[in-house]
Amino acid sequence: MAIVLSITNQKGGVAKTTTALSLAHAFARRDAQKKILLIDLDSQRNATSILLGNQDIPPEKSVYALFQNKRSESAALYPTPLANLFVIPSNLHLVEVESQLTGALDGFFRLNDALQTLRHEFDYIILDCPPSLSVITINAMVSADFLLIPLQISKFSIDGIQNIRDAVTTVNRRYNAHLKIAGGCLTLHDGRTTLSQAMIPEVEKILPILKTTVPRSVAVEEAHLMRRDIFDYAPDNKVAVAYRELADELLAVFESQRGAAAS
């Protein structure tokens, strides 16, 4: 059964998509026997355009279909240059889902239902969430086993983290008791600033922070522009090294939770 990892933070521009893409590639490159699925849940389509370019993707063959209750999930699977990495792309029609699901009795469960078959086909399913605590993000939390929260340290990020924490508590209580926070990950990180040093303990009162931090590098933007993953574009770059370490750290978290659940 797949492990479903949701990359979530309602704050914009904290490297959710970069982290989702990098982890998907890191897992896929680490072990060719494992099958990885990345699902783009953001109508901005950033992950989709990096992976698939300007390919025309009709709504019924996109992530939009997963929210329609029609068992069309396999129609939306697209291959990538890595044989063991697939993507379910986004489509602008995804913005309609928000109003379609408001008031629907199963509105928070559509994605989870659509993932039932896919969970048997893949080892890791990575969800790239939009920058909002919307119905779509709640669908991701209801479907996920683990949440990874990319973070940039600032006063505003602390308020935002408390909101995610509260959302997780509600989801745990009402919809998905299995959801666990794998941790916060400091992205676009400059560990030298005294502000970030001073605020880390404050963040840790709300959320466990993973050991791996992801520094800034122009190589990230360059790789995105060239539609290449960071490991292919600049394998020795500090960001590539960090995302490889993050993948390893997360695998250890998954393992330890599995062990805890079994005992």
Ligand X SMILES: Nc1ncnc2c1ncn2[C@@H]1O[C@H](COP(=O)(O)OP(=O)(O)OP(=O)(O)O)[C@@H](O)[C@H]1O
Enumerate binding residues for ligand X (CB under 6 A).
Answer: 12-18, 42, 44, 46, 131, 187-188, 214, 216-217, 220-221, 224, 239
Report how far apart the first and last C-alpha atoms of the chain are (Å, whole number). 19
- Picked from Mg ion, ligand X, none, the partner binding residue 13 (CB below 5 to 8 A depending on kind) is ligand X
Q: Closer to ligand X by CB, 75 or 241: give it.
A: 241
Q: From the CB of 104, what's the least distance to Mg ion, in Å? A: 25
Q: From the CB of 89, what's the least distance to Mg ion, in Å? A: 14
User: DSSP string of 22-79?
Assistant: HHHHHHHHH-TTS-EEEEE--TT-HHHHHHHTT----GGGSGGGGGTTSS-GGGG-EE
Q: From the CB of 73, what's the least distance to Mg ion, in Å? A: 22
Q: From the CB of 258, what's the least distance to ligand X, in Å? A: 28
- Picked from ligand X, Mg ion, none, the partner binding residue 217 (CB below 5 to 8 A depending on kind) is ligand X
Q: Closer to Mg ion by CB, 17 or 187: give it.
A: 17
Q: Closer to Mg ion by CB, 9 or 237: give it.
A: 9
- Picked from ligand X, Mg ion, none, the partner binding residue 23 (CB below 5 to 8 A depending on kind) is none
| Contact status, residue 232 vs residue 220, Cβ threshold 8 Å | no
Q: Is residue 16 part of the contact set for Mg ion (CB under 5 A)?
A: yes
Answer for which of 17, 48, 84, 152 binds Mg ion (CB under 5 A) is: 17
| Contact status, residue 140 vs residue 8, Cβ threshold 8 Å | yes
Q: Closer to Mg ion by CB, 46 or 143: give it.
A: 46
CB-nearest residue to Mg ion: 17
Segment near Mg ion (CB under 5 A), from 15-23, 143-151, 157-165, 174-182? Answer: 15-23
3-state SS, residue 182: strand
Q: Closer to ligand X by CB, 42 or 145: give it.
A: 42
- Picked from Mg ion, ligand X, none, the partner binding residue 162 (CB below 5 to 8 A depending on kind) is none
Q: Which of 89, 170, 167 is closest to 128 using CA atoms?
A: 89
3-state SS, residue 167: helix
**Residue 220: is it exposed, middle or buried by C-beta count within 10 angstroms (0-12/13-18/19+)?**
buried
Encode 65-76: b = buried (16+ Cβ within 10 Å), e = exposed: bbbeeeeebeeb
| Contact status, residue 41 vs residue 136, Cβ threshold 8 Å | yes
CA distance linking residue 57 with residue 69, whole number of Å: 19
| Contact status, residue 127 vs residue 9, Cβ threshold 8 Å | no
Angle (CA) 223 227 229, round 5°: 55
- Picked from ligand X, Mg ion, none, the partner binding residue 221 (CB below 5 to 8 A depending on kind) is ligand X
Measured between alpha carbons, how far is residue 82 from residues 46, 198, 228 in Å?
Answer: 18, 41, 11
Q: Closer to ligand X by CB, 24 or 109: give it.
A: 24
- Picked from ligand X, Mg ion, none, the partner binding residue 176 (CB below 5 to 8 A depending on kind) is none
Q: Closer to ligand X by CB, 113 or 222: give it.
A: 222
Rule CB under 5 A: which residues touch Mg ion? Answer: 16-17, 46
